């Protein structure tokens, strides 16, 4: 793609144009369902970073989504020895119920917003 400078009339070529994300990818519920789908495939406890890596999300986004939307549906394990020695909060997660229906999550969110 060529662009002409309005001041000097030189032509510049743009080598790459940033790809716009689809609107559905920005939706937080889309991200919640990505995390949920990944957790359904896992049998053991999973670190936040591993969830983030496999869902193409950032670790703080995964942590936020779990804390805000999925806290009633996941179990959390936080090793105290790691936190006391390093000061870093490291958490592991797994689903309470593998057969959870996504409709239950949406209904839970509606109830929380209405109350």
> Residue 50: pLDDT above 90?
yes
Identify the burial level of 43 via C-beta atoms within 10 angstroms of its C-beta, where 0-12 means exposed, 13-18 middle and 19 or more buried.
exposed
Q: Whole-number mean pLDDT of the chain? A: 81
What is the pLDDT confidence band of residue 107, given thresholds at 50, 70 and 90? confident
* CATH code matching the domain that covers 35-114, chosen among 1.10.3470, 3.20.20, 1.10.10, 3.30.1490: 1.10.10
Phi, psi of 61 (to 5 degrees): -70, -40
pLDDT above 90: percentage of residues in the chain: 31
What number is the average pLDDT over the span 2-9? 66
> Residue 34: pLDDT above 80?
yes
Q: Please tell me the pTM assigned to this model.
A: 0.70
What number is the average pLDDT over the span 44-63? 92
**Closest C-alpha among 93, 41, 48 to residue 72:** 93
Residue 99 pLDDT? 86
Quickly count helices (H) and strands (E) in the chain: 6, 5
In the chain, where the domains are located: 35-114
Q: Which tokens in the block code for residue 90?
A: 């490291």
């Amino acid at each position: 793609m060529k662009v002409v400078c309005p001041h000097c009339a030189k032509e510049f070529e743009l080598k790459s144009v940033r790809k716009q994300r689809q609107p559905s990818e920005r939706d937080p519920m889309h991200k919640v369902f990505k995390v949920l789908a990944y957790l359904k495939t896992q049998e053991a406890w999973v670190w936040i970073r591993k969830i983030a890596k496999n869902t193409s999300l950032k670790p703080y986004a995964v942590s936020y989504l779990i804390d805000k939307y999925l806290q009633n549906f996941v179990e959390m394990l936080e090793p105290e020895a790691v936190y006391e020695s390093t000061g870093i909060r490291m958490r592991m997660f797994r689903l309470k119920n593998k057969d959870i229906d996504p409709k239950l999550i949406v209904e839970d969110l509606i109830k929380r917003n209405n109350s």
